[in-house]
A and B are shown apart, each in its own frame.
Chain A
Amino acid sequence: MTEMVHGPLPVEVRDPILPRWWRTVDRWTMASVLFLFIFGLILALAASPPLAERNNLDAFHYVHRQAVFGGLALLAMTITSMMSPDTVRRWATVGFGCALLALILLPIFGTDFGKGATRWYSFGFASVQPSEFIKPVFVVFSAWLISASFEPGGPPGRMMSFALAVVITGFLALQPDFGQASLILFSWGVMYFCAGAPLLFILSMAAATVLAGFFAYNYSEHFARRIDGYMAADVDPNTQLGYAANAIQEGGLFGVGTGEGSVKWSLPDAHTDFIIAVAAEEYGVLMVLVILGLFAVIVLRTLARLVQERNLFVRLAGTGLVSMFGVQAMINMGVAVRLLPAKGMTLPFVSYGGSSLIAGGIALGMILALTRSRPQGALSAVMRGY
């Protein structure tokens, strides 16, 4: 009707989508992710054959899967990175609902694959780990709530998002998966911190964490053993940490050579939690430093671009996502060099794992989408330098 009266709407004259995307996206971060993925494949070639052998599979079974999932992850990243921040927010909100539902239903429909923790939905050909997917969408949703709370007449978003974080943490602890639970809490804390939380509050949070750790040490034998192993001056050479430390020392600067390493035969988690030990042993600490550098580039570039971002939601969401990404890498490598107590945590984009890869791709896609260069706020504010 309207068209019949007024004629068709004039087509907005804009750049084609792909060139605009290419021009505005953070290509450094994208390249770093691509390199991480390539390193992940190389390391999978080194680290996964022992696992394949144990499971009576083709030697490079896990490499193939890693390539497929990695490709899917890159695709997911590209698609997500083309969205506008609003679209990201909308899809994340929808996704958060789905992921939360999946998480809640996990105890009923999930499977534990005989590992003692119910974390997966099994679909035969593949399995899905909802906790991996809930991390990025939770961050975006919470960032929206927190930023909305600053609007005049906005909802009490900080309280609401904290309640959500606690609920999710509870469900994750039920699985149990304390690693992901602590990541959820951590990312919420980072966003709250960036949103201007009073320092006193931050300090009391730190104190509470120490207190909680103290109680866990006294009441959980599992936890106490981890801490004792970390505190001991001499690492027991027959533990995972001992093998990892030894592997790094064996590797030296340039490594013992491709396929020559031995740690992958001793460590059950060589392809996931201790992938960095395999890298250090076979390719030397220089490769590890390159990987570390790639993570640093992603985190720091993203933070730098977020500093120029004037939208509070974008800032918070981007910071939450990228710090979760960075901290995960930090914990993984910190454990291998015994800066942190033993805690299973995958190295994003490098460790083997379908859900982890694809969820990582989505998270990085969101980061890329949020850090695309775009016009910022009112010109007057830009002129004043904020």
Chain B
Amino acid sequence: MIRKPLRPLARIFSARTAGENPDLIEHANRRERIEMQHERILRKTQRRLFMMGGIFVISFGVIGMRMTALAVSEPIEPKARATAAQILASRADILDRNGRVLATNIDTHSLYAHPRQLIDPEGTARQLVEIFPDINVEKMAARLAGPQEFLWLKPAISPEEKQAVHDIGEPGLLFGPREMRLYPNGQLAGHILGGTTFGAQGVHSAEVIGMAGVEKAFDTFLRDPRFDGQPLQLSIDLTVQSALEEALYGGMRLMNAKGASAVLMDAYSGEVVSLASLPDFDPNNRPRPLTQGDASDSALFNRAVQGVYELGSAFKAFTVAQAMDLGLVEPGSMVDTKGPLRWGKHKINDYRDYGAQMSVEKVLIKSSNIGTARLSLMIGAELQKDFLDRLGLLQTTPIEVIEGPTGRPQYPRKWSDISTMTISYGHGISTSPVHLAAGYAAIVNGGTLVKPTLLKQPAAPRGARIISEKTSRDLRSMMRRVVTEGTAKMGDVPGYSVAGKTGTADKPSPQGGYYKDKVLATFASFFPSTDPRYVLIVTLDEPEDRTGPEPRRTAGATAVPVAAEIIRRVAPLLGIAPEIEPTLKNGLTLANN
């Protein structure tokens, strides 16, 4: 910037010559300079003032617009937003194989309170107790008078209860819609279905999550909105299940057993048509798990799936099948059955002495431990283990209840010769009844593997071959003779040609060794014997038939008649036509006229 000099020499000189005071010039210039500077500042502040004004206009405008936008937007219920988005209700139904409802949902309401809005907490507590007798009045009054803003009172209440609560007229008592899982058949198939509980709870909905059984195994599928409530169809037949449970329950009571289980399986597809474990429970109201004692005594324990037992002589069928399939023996081949069979320090005995030799067929019919052990020695440990493994008896079953993987078979880690012998007649190996059912289905259906399943299957190709068609056929006729002339004589059901193999296993004592008076009686059966359609496994835990002079515990006297009763009831329901014996030609000729 070029500054104008305060004392320009030319003007000073001329002023001096004119006799004026040259300082006046300097003062005038100085004043001018200050004024210019002042103006510059004012000009600058003016611009800044305009900027300030602009900023204020914009700010006020933004606030005003935002306020208007907020005001014209819909108010959102503040509580609904926090939860509704996260909890998806509507769990898919569960149906039986014919489309009957096993599990569905009903709309109920939950009850909650806003204690701060309560007018009379104590009176409310008293009136609530009249509706819900399980509420403790003092505790409830204390909770309602407490400082919380929100209290859950009841997870699900019926419409009548809701009306009654409504009639109290308290503004602080509120209802939220609740979808509740309902099992319309009560206890029926309770172990299969398992039950549900409330998961995350919001005011407007609650998560229903599976607790056990199919409900838990298929939890994600049932809750997945992608499937749009598509129902889950099980292989269970509700009417068969009902008949089977009723017969099994009666049998359990009659035989004084403390528990029982039954598995009815399609011999080809592996579909479990019915599965029961007693004692059972109502999935609508699951009991609490036992806090002490043996978990396997709880009603929640699924004996058919979770329970692994030494199933005894029922295993002999596997040994005989393998020996025949390997071509080691024929049904008529003679086996040494002279007892006792000594092996090292072990000794194997039969139920009674069957003489020095028996045919293989007789070994099965009479259930000779010694004969079966001899067969297993012919087979050898390695092949036996491999065979049982191929049958799926050494792994957990793929059955679709959450308890499935807990039924892990137990067998000796070192498969010694003595193990081979005991395993040949079902001792030293523990499996679940479902394992046994799948194994039996495989050896009697013509020799192809089946995988147990609880889901209704479309017609599927046959599984991998386990034994030959012929072996399977021979085995069927041998096992038919077990019923007609062997250990399972009480199992014959007229018209349905039942076949099978009994198993009476002494129960192992927790102190080591075996109980003398506690057995697990098993009847592994299939019917009709000529063309097996279904496999039925019945086990009774500690049965005792006290009608005779001496208590009888063998499977032939306990599990077999129960199984027979079940077959008598369910076979017609399964649509199996009874074989009617041809009427004797009695010499009458029909008159044609």
Binding site for B on A (CB under 8 A): 150, 152, 190, 193-196, 234, 237-238, 242, 245-246, 248-253, 280, 284-285, 288-289, 292, 295-296, 299-300, 303-304, 306-307, 310, 312, 315-316, 319, 323, 326, 330, 333-334, 336-337, 339, 378, 381, 384, 386
B281-297 toward A: CB 8 Å interface, digit per residue (1/0)? 00000000000000000
**Interface pair B63/A249, CB less than 8 Å apart:** no
**Interface pair B72/A253, CB less than 8 Å apart:** yes
CB distance from A341 to the nearest CB of B (A): 15
**Interface pair B63/A333, CB less than 8 Å apart:** yes
- A381 to B46, alpha carbons, bound, how many Å? 14
- A190 to B34, alpha carbons, bound, how many Å? 25
Q: Which of B39, B41, B46, B63 contacts A307 (CB 8 A)?
A: B46
List chain A residues, Cβ under 8 A from B342.
none
Tell me the nearest residue of chain B to A196, going by C-beta: B44
| Known contacts A316-B45, A330-B60, A248 near B67 by CB under 8 Å | yes
List chain B residues, Cβ under 8 A from A316.
45
Report how many A-B pairs have Cβ atoms within 8 Å.
Answer: 118
A-B contact pairs, 7 of them (CB 8 A): A249-B74, A285-B67, A292-B60, A292-B67, A296-B56, A323-B52, A326-B60
List chain A residues, Cβ under 8 A from B43.
386
Stretch from B76-84, B243-251, B405-413 at the A interface: B76-84
List chain A residues, Cβ under 8 A from B75.
246, 249-250
**Interface pair A296/B60, CB less than 8 Å apart:** yes
**Interface pair B52/A303, CB less than 8 Å apart:** yes
B13-50 toward A: CB 8 Å interface, digit per residue (1/0)? 00000000000000000000011011101111110111
CB distance from B240 to the nearest CB of A (A): 53
**Interface pair B49/A315, CB less than 8 Å apart:** yes
Interface core residue of B39, B42, B70 (most chain A CB under 10 Å): B70
Additional 15 contacts, C-beta under 8 A, given A295-B60, A303-B52, A307-B49: A194-B52, A196-B48, A234-B81, A248-B71, A253-B71, A253-B72, A285-B70, A285-B71, A289-B67, A315-B49, A330-B59, A330-B60, A336-B67, A337-B66, A386-B43
B459 within 8 A of A: no
| Chain B contact residues: helix, strand, loop or mixed | helix
- A274 to B579, alpha carbons, bound, how many Å? 89
List chain A residues, Cβ under 8 A from B45.
194-196, 312, 315-316
Tell me the nearest residue of chain B to A152, going by C-beta: B34
Q: Which of B39, B41, B49, B82 contacts A319 (CB 8 A)?
A: B49
Tell me the nearest residue of chain B to A252, going by C-beta: B71
**Interface pair A150/B41, CB less than 8 Å apart:** yes
B57 within 8 A of A: yes
- A238 to B62, alpha carbons, bound, how many Å? 26
- A333 to B68, alpha carbons, bound, how many Å? 12
List chain B residues, Cβ under 8 A from A253.
71-72
B509 within 8 A of A: no
List chain A residues, Cβ under 8 A from B72.
252-253, 285
**Interface pair B79/A237, CB less than 8 Å apart:** yes
**Interface pair B56/A303, CB less than 8 Å apart:** yes
List chain B residues, Cβ under 8 A from A330.
56, 59-60, 63
CB distance from A261 to the nearest CB of B (A): 13
- A386 to B35, alpha carbons, bound, how many Å? 11
- A315 to B63, alpha carbons, bound, how many Å? 27
